[in-house]
């Protein structure tokens, strides 16, 4: 039998593992739910970029807790139940206290973002790490004091899986404020559970912990009732919603809805000349979609007879004039319904609208239907809920017009903690799918994007469309199949980005070259003083104009020379690395600010994503060294004197990095298949954690020969990861026609065997290490936690450069090399292996 870890508790006050499990389950669920909720709150109170720090803060808090238990082993001795209870109550208090501070300082943090003070920003709200520290303290002490580690590890993982679903189930009925308090309340509930597992004769620590738990639970109960008053999630002052309410007299906040995707706020603008003003629907306080009444839309068109939304219909109107049937249209991302209105106004026979947010459909299609003239149910209109591409793939029909009018937001998706502004609506494969669903003889694709000066975002879209037309549809001169028109809008004084000019770009693409008459229609756009032609086939332009140069290069097949010479990265992106909005090279981190970099630009067009990634990578590496490695070096250095310490630590480092790499890459690769980032996050996390927990339970029964078991498990695991890297996509393509419940079942069937194996290496390795080098156990746990922290950021950096499949293969490499180093070489045998 393997020798026990020095931190194992044998005294009478140590709680039984099975009776500790319910409390560990509760705190694990609370931590995961709080982590996902935090991305939503930060996206509302500040900007979506802040949510990328959440997973790092979580992992860092856990790693710091593990380090503290290592250097202060008495925390895992004596009255363990009382200490677990204290940590549970402090988790709740620090959660509530942290958000009181956040509510008072969110605007200051948002200003730091605008000024590029990312290091100061991350230190500024590092107090949000504290709840995760106490949550990690519970997990570390519970696992350190248990002889049945695999059993508690199972409850830890299952609790985390439930936490992911807890967010989905309760964010809409409770709202962000009350769900925050509910997450905190699980801390004292766990504390009560821990105390019930203690011996019947309580010691002073337990008695004090009991009083603290009851008091904290009472505080949470009152806070739940007062949540919206005490913990309001206010929109940042730099966002459009705040400006509208403050500066537009008569504007009223008329509704709010929390959803797993974002928070929806409805602001009604004042009536004008007896007609109802439109209603702005804000997503996390920005990213506006507008809901018009019939009268307000008519007034809008009377004052602005030309709109970028109608460009794709101009060639269709020519065909109708010649006797063709009215067009059938598809609008992706319909929001308040304005694209449905444009389709009907432009003469569409029918229009299918796809909207990703079911709550938006409920608001516009049901609750506010009387206001907007029931736009979702007008004759010829059909509305479906779903992610644009996922829904499109299940449509066995073509359209004459497909329209995407700026279909994305600057909100944080639930995978936002793991990914950096990825979008599957603008990848190479996406454009191919749009063209495949267009009528090959008359179909037009209309897309509206931002048109920075000099161009970058829209230029990338232009490159993707023309390359897809050439390479997938055999079009020799795709330059004849595109038109781009700019519209410039000056932001009003007193609001966000006051006085700055935003340039929107209307793009029209077609599988057939535009007729001379259609080109004349596009050329007429210049009668609008705010419009100008950016690109039109056959129209002479500045030879240095990037659109004309790129179009000619794609025709000639020499576009790589253009990309290499252009100062921004506008190469086409694909589904494996869907970072459409990252058009900066890494060298931009050290470049001077751009000439057009105002406050609005800094939050949209600057290299903010790269700066946050670089800052996080440096900061987390330093904090891991400070909070994990340094304490171990100073106080537990003797562990490094164990034979073959480097091999052992490499194994646990590989486990931490490999698990995180595989988890994040899998979440990302399933977004399209499951139709929504929320579904991908919750299904993948629940599957990973549940079946890894089951694997941990089984690993506890393989203690007779852990080295041999580790080798077998690692071999099977590497085979499984390799199969996942190359075999997942064909499975997804073959089963995409299934309904969502069936697709979830497919995901579980594919991932479950692999996840089951993933739960085994850590408890097997820990058990073996206890027999070979027990003094090295604290180091192993610290290295594992630190590797997870750094890997959570590093995997995104790698994916941006090489794609998520590469990240998956690196996970295989991490598991494989770590295990080889652990089970080979001149390692002494433990009694369990003799």
CB crowding 253-271: b at 16 or more within 10 Å, else e: eeeebbbbbbbbbbbbbee
Compute the distance between CA of residue 674 and CA of residue 390 in angstroms, rounded to an integer: 8
Instruction: Indicate the pLDDT class of residue 320, thresholds 50, 70 and 90.
Output: very high
Taking only the tens place, the pLDDT of each residue in 117-131 is 655 566 656 677 889
Residue 610 pLDDT more than 80? no
Spell out the long-range contacts of 118-121 with Cβ–Cβ below 8 A and sequence spacing 24 or more. 118/611, 118/612, 118/615, 119/615, 119/618, 119/619, 121/50
Q: Please answer whether residues 225 and 174 qualify as being in contact, where contact means their C-beta atoms are separated by less than 8 angstroms.
A: no
The residues near 285 (Cβ < 8 Å, ≥ 6 apart) are: 44, 235, 236, 239, 240, 241, 242, 263, 265
pLDDT at 348: 95
Q: Which fold has domain 1-235?
A: Growth Hormone; Chain: A; (1.20.1250)
Other Cβ atoms closer than 10 A to 500: 16
CATH architecture, range 642-834: Up-down Bundle (1.20)
> 646 or 437, which is more confident?
437
Q: What value does the mean pLDDT of the chain take?
A: 82
pLDDT at 726: 93
Mean pLDDT over 151-155 rounds to 81
Tell me the DSSP string of 418-442: T-SS--TTSSHHHHHHHHHTB-TTT
| Biggest distance spanned by C-alpha atoms of the chain | 93
Query: Which residue intervals of the chain bear CATH 1.20.1250.20?
Result: 642-834
pLDDT at 114: 57
Q: Which fold has domain 239-417?
A: Rossmann fold (3.40.50)
> pLDDT over 70 for what percent of the chain?
82
CB-count exposure of residue 473 (10 Å: 0-12, 13-18, 19+): middle
Mean pLDDT over 383-408 rounds to 88
CB-count exposure of residue 341 (10 Å: 0-12, 13-18, 19+): buried
The residue written with tokens 């249209």 in the block is: 329
Residue 2 pLDDT more than 70? no
Among 512, 431, 522, residue whose Cα is nearest residue 472: 431
Instruction: Indicate the pLDDT class of residue 112, thresholds 50, 70 and 90.
Output: low
Query: Which residue intervals of the chain bear CATH 3.40.50.150?
Result: 239-417
> 768 or 15, which is more confident?
768
Q: Please answer whether residues 92 and 183 qualify as being in contact, where contact means their C-beta atoms are separated by less than 8 angstroms.
A: no
Instruction: Indicate the pLDDT class of residue 146, thresholds 50, 70 and 90.
Output: low
């Amino acid at each position: 039998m393997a020798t026990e870890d020095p931190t194992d508790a044998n005294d009478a006050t140590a709680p039984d593992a099975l009776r500790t499990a319910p409390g560990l389950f509760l705190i694990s669920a609370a931590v995961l739910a709080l982590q996902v909720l935090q991305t939503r709150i930060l996206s509302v109170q500040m900007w979506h970029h802040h949510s990328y720090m959440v997973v790092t803060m979580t992992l860092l808090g856990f790693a710091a807790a593990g380090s503290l238990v290592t250097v202060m082993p008495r925390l895992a001795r004596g009255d363990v139940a009382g200490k677990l209870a204290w940590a549970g109550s402090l988790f709740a208090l620090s959660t509530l206290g942290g958000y009181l501070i956040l509510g008072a300082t969110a605007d200051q943090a948002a200003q730091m973002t605008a000024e590029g003070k990312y290091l100061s920003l991350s230190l500024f709200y590092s107090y949000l790490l504290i709840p995760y520290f106490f949550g990690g303290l519970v997990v570390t002490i519970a696992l350190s004091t248990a002889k049945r580690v695999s059993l508690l590890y199972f409850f830890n993982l299952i609790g985390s899986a439930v936490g992911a679903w807890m967010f989905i189930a309760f964010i809409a009925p409770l709202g962000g404020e009350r769900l925050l308090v509910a997450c905190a309340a699980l801390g004292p509930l766990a504390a009560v559970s821990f105390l019930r597992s203690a011996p019947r004769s309580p010691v002073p620590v337990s008695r004090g912990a009991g009083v603290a738990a009851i008091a904290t639970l009472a505080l949470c109960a009152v806070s739940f009732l007062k949540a919206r008053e005490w913990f309001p999630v206010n929109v940042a002052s730099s966002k459009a919603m705040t400006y509208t309410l403050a500066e537009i007299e008569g504007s009223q906040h008329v509704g709010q809805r929390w959803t797993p995707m974002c928070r929806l706020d409805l602001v009604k603008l004042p009536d004008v000349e007896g007609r109802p003003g439109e209603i702005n629907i804000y997503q996390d306080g920005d990213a506006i979609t507008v809901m018009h009444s019939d009268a307000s839309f008519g007034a809008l068109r009377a004052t602005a007879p030309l709109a970028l939304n109608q460009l794709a219909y101009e060639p269709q109107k020519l065909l109708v004039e010649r006797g063709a049937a009215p067009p059938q249209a598809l609008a992706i991302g319909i929001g308040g319904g304005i694209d449905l209105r444009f389709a009907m106004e432009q003469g569409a026979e029918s229009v299918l609208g796809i909207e990703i947010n079911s709550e938006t459909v409920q608001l516009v299609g049901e609750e506010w239907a009387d206001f907007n003239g029931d736009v979702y149910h007008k004759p010829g209109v059909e509305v479906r809920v779903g992610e644009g591409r996922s829904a499109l793939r299940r449509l066995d029909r073509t359209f004459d017009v497909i329209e995407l009018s700026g279909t994305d937001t600057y909100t944080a998706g639930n995978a936002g903690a793991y990914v950096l502004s990825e979008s599957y609506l603008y990848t190479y494969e996406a454009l191919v799918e749009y063209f495949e669903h267009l009528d090959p003889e008359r179909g037009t694709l209309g897309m509206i994007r931002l048109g920075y000066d000099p161009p970058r975002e829209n230029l990338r879209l232009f490159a993707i469309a023309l390359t897809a037309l050439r390479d997938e549809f055999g079009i020799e001169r795709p330059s004849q199949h595109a038109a781009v028109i700019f519209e410039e809008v000056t932001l009003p004084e007193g609001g966000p980005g006051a006085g700055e000019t935003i340039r929107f770009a209307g793009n029209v693409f077609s599988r057939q070259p535009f007729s001379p008459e259609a080109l004349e229609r596009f050329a007429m756009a210049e009668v609008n003083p705010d419009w100008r032609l950016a690109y039109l086939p056959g129209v002479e332009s500045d030879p240095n104009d990037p659109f004309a140069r790129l179009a000619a290069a794609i025709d000639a097949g020499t576009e790589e020379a253009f990309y290499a010479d252009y100062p921004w990265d506008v190469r086409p992106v694909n589904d494996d690395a869907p970072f459409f909005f990252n058009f900066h090279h890494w060298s931009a981190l050290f470049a001077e600010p751009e000439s057009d970099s105002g406050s609005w630009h800094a939050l949209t067009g600057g290299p903010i994503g790269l700066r946050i990634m670089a800052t996080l990578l440096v900061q987390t590496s330093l904090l891991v060294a400070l909070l994990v490695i340094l304490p171990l070096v100073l106080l537990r250095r003797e562990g490094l004197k164990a034979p073959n310490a480097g091999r052992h630590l490499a194994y646990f480092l590989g486990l931490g990095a490999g698990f995180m790499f595989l988890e994040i890459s899998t979440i990302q690769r399933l977004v399209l298949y499951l139709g929504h980032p929320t579904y991908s996050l919750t299904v993948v996390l629940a599957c990973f954690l549940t079946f890894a927990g089951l694997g941990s339970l089984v690993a506890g029964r393989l203690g007779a020969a852990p080295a041999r078991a580790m080798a077998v498990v690692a071999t099977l695991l590497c085979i499984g990861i390799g199969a996942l890297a190359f075999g997942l996509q064909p499975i997804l393509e073959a089963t995409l026609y299934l309904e969502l419940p069936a697709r979830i079942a497919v995901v579980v069937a594919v991932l479950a065997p692999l996840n089951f194996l993933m739960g085994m290496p850590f408890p097997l390795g820990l058990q073996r290490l206890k027999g070979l080098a027990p003094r090295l156990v604290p180091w192993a746990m610290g290295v594992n936690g630190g590797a997870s922290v750094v890997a959570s950021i590093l995997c995104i950096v790698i994916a941006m450069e090489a794609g998520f499949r590469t990240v998956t293969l690196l996970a295989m490499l991490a598991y494989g090399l770590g295990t080889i180093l652990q089970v080979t070489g001149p390692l002494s045998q433990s009694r369990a292996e003799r």
